[in-house]
Amino acid sequence: MRRFVVALAFVTLSCGEARSTGPQSGDAAQVATGARVAPSQAPEAEASAPPPALSPLAALVTEAENARYDAALHTEPVAPAALSVPSLGVFDASVMPVGLDPDGELDVPGADLVGWYRYGASPGSPGSSVLASHVEYNNVPGVFRYLTKLKVGDLLTVGFVDGSSRQFRVAETAMYDKSELPEQIWRRTGASSLALVTCGGNYNRSEQSYESNVVVYTVPV
């Protein structure tokens, strides 16, 4: 069984066979205009009655800082549901959301499925989305068995759970050592991109693992 590992400090992905205080007092005090107020210049406070006692609930209320509403931060990403890559003979391969296990390994599903890293971006949204699948799993050819055959300009389509779809174009293909998978494929901001990831390179029989990872970078059409 091949496994994918995500180490969020030095991000890698590996697989086998198959993350005011308030103003100070005295001359250190500064008013909103930026002018300093020396103790000798500060007006004496007028005598006033002590403020009324607050109820226990009211005492918990504090002044909120100014905040700017960003709708993008308050919407759930639309999950991908299917992947078609005509040049590889892949049509409507099922996509399921996956996360990490306690060991930090990406849980890639079976041979006929594609895993979407659900803590990353949704395909087509700002940031990088990751779809991963096996070359082979339990002696069954995986969806990404021929991923290295993709060429710049090839098209693929992602279908979503809401019935919509988005087309992507291959922009670059690359192969990395297990320990050198670039962190950029996990980014949550910036231009939209979709990375297709699988195992590649030489197969180490003693380790029962491929020595490299293949990444195909695509961009929305």
Rounded Cα–Cα distance for residues 154 and 173 (Å):
11
Residue 8 has pLDDT above 60, yes or no: no
Among 10, 14, 6, 18, residue whose Cα is nearest residue 137: 18
3-state secondary structure of 179: helix
Mean pLDDT of 110-135: 95
Q: Could you tell me the pLDDT band of residue 207, with boundaries at 50, 70 and 90?
A: confident
Q: Please report the pLDDT score of residue 206 as a whole number.
A: 78
d(CA 153, CA 201): 23
pLDDT tens string 43-101: 444 555 666 655 554 454 455 555 565 555 556 789 999 999 999 999 999 999 998 87
Using CA atoms, how far apart are residues 66 and 20, in angstroms rounded to an integer?
A: 12
Contacts of 125 (CB under 8 A, 6+ apart): 77, 192
The confidence score (pLDDT) of residue 163 equals 96
Beta strand segments in the chain, E: 4-5, 80-85, 90-98, 105-106, 113-117, 128-132, 136-137, 140-141, 155-160, 165-177, 193-204, 209-220
Quick: pLDDT tens for 130-185: 999 999 988 899 999 999 999 999 999 999 999 999 999 999 999 998 778 788 99
The full set of domains in the chain, from first to last, is 4-17+77-220 (2.40.260.10)
Per-residue pLDDT at 104:
74
> pTM of the predicted model, to two decimals?
0.68
Cα–Cα nearest to 131, from 69, 88, 102: 88
Nearest to 88 by CA among 36, 136, 39, 150: 150
d(CA 113, CA 105) in angstroms, rounded, equals 17
